[in-house]
Amino acid sequence: MGLQTADDAAVYRVADDRAIIQTVDFFPPVVDDPYAYGAIAAANAMSDVYAMGGEVVLALNLGAFPKDLDREIVREIFRGGADKVAEAGAVIGGGHTILDDEPKYGLAVTGFVHPDRIIRKSTARAGDLLVLTKPLGTGIVTTALKHSAAASHEVEAAVESMMRLNHTGSRIMQEEGVHAATDVTGYSLLGHSYEMADASGVGILIRADDIPLLAGTLEHAAGGHIPGGLRRNRRWLAQEDRLRLPDGISEEWVLALHSPETSGGLLISLEPEKAPSLRDRFSKEGEETWVVGEVTDGRAVGVRQSPAQAP
């Protein structure tokens, strides 16, 4: 379907009414529990299909494990992934595993979408509202966990968020009709916002006051628990007038907005009139959403924060 714009996944039309969505993702453990790790890696890998408004139909396991790793741990990782794929209504059709010093797990994922109903990140329009479907902070909280600095309730909330599929979101976007969407992952909220703005030829204004954060995010950012990739995101966005931060924004907020996320939420761009009904649908499915900004003229990403909100 073309390589002109950076979409979340590859799309290949196989019939007038059907296109294949293909994507792959895998990474080292982000949490200690092997079952949760497998489930998070699977939810994350399937997310790009959902960001494009598709349905997942088939997945293949990709695994790399140390030779001496307990077999029971490997089984738990695969079980976590398999449960998520089953929840998605899809099947695992096999996979491939190799030996590696550091464990890695993820999925190659195949989905379907109607070629006329592909949700892209390049079609946001000035005047749209931006809705986010998960809080930020997974990268910072899991980094704090690696440094043994995260409280168990903080880790539990992060794990619950990362394990949640963006499946409901894909279905609701299709039913309600939206202009554009992407999922918030390694490039951070600001990085993915910039991708959407750049691809759509619009500007984006993020209202930091309305951004939901996982418990512990600002404290752990201030404490130096900075995920790999955050500095790269910051350098990338500092180029060419891509980002305008408000005077007086605190360093921990800047870190949170630039932090890579794992299995983050959808960032949905839609007509303001449609936002209440879309959010109502999420809420009926038990999922919270936040209006975090708007699409503007221009090309850059701006952040606004009221002085009282800065800690």
Residues in contact with Co ion by CB under 5 A are 8, 25, 48, 183
Indicate the residue among 25 and 198 with the shorter CB distance to Co ion: 25
Neighbours of 198 (CB within 10 A): 19
Q: How far is the CB of 49 from Co ion (least distance, A)?
A: 9
Please identify the residue of the shown chain whose CB is closest to the bound Co ion. 8
Indicate the residue among 109 and 202 with the shorter CB distance to Co ion: 109
Q: How far is the CB of 195 from Co ion (least distance, A)?
A: 9
- What is the Cα–Cα distance from 53 to 183, expressed in whole angstroms? 11
Q: How far is the CB of 48 from Co ion (least distance, A)?
A: 4
Indicate the residue among 254 and 266 with the shorter CB distance to Co ion: 266
β-strand pairing of 55-65 with 91-99: parallel
- What is the Cα–Cα distance from 96 to 38, expressed in whole angstroms? 15
Q: How far is the CB of 28 from Co ion (least distance, A)?
A: 16
167 near 244, Cβ under 8 Å? no
DSSP one-letter string for 195-210: HHHHHHT-EEEEEGGG
Map tokens 């949760």 to a residue: 36
Indicate the residue among 8 and 154 with the shorter CB distance to Co ion: 8
DSSP 8-state assignment for residue 226? P
Q: How far is the CB of 133 from Co ion (least distance, A)?
A: 13
DSSP 8-state assignment for residue 17? T
Indicate the residue among 186 and 216 with the shorter CB distance to Co ion: 186
Q: How far is the CB of 268 from Co ion (least distance, A)?
A: 13
Amino acid at 52: M
45 near 7, Cβ under 8 Å? no
Q: How far is the CB of 259 from Co ion (least distance, A)?
A: 16
Q: How many residues does the chain have?
A: 311
Contacts of 287 (CB under 8 A, 6+ apart): 133, 164, 168, 169
Indicate the residue among 73 and 162 with the shorter CB distance to Co ion: 162
Q: Which two tokens stand for residue 189?
A: 């909220």
Map tokens 């997942």 to a residue: 56
Indicate the residue among 42 and 218 with the shorter CB distance to Co ion: 42
Q: How far is the CB of 220 from Co ion (least distance, A)?
A: 24
Indicate the residue among 109 and 208 with the shorter CB distance to Co ion: 109
Strand order in the sheet with 18-27: 10-15, 18-27, 104-113, 55-65, 91-99
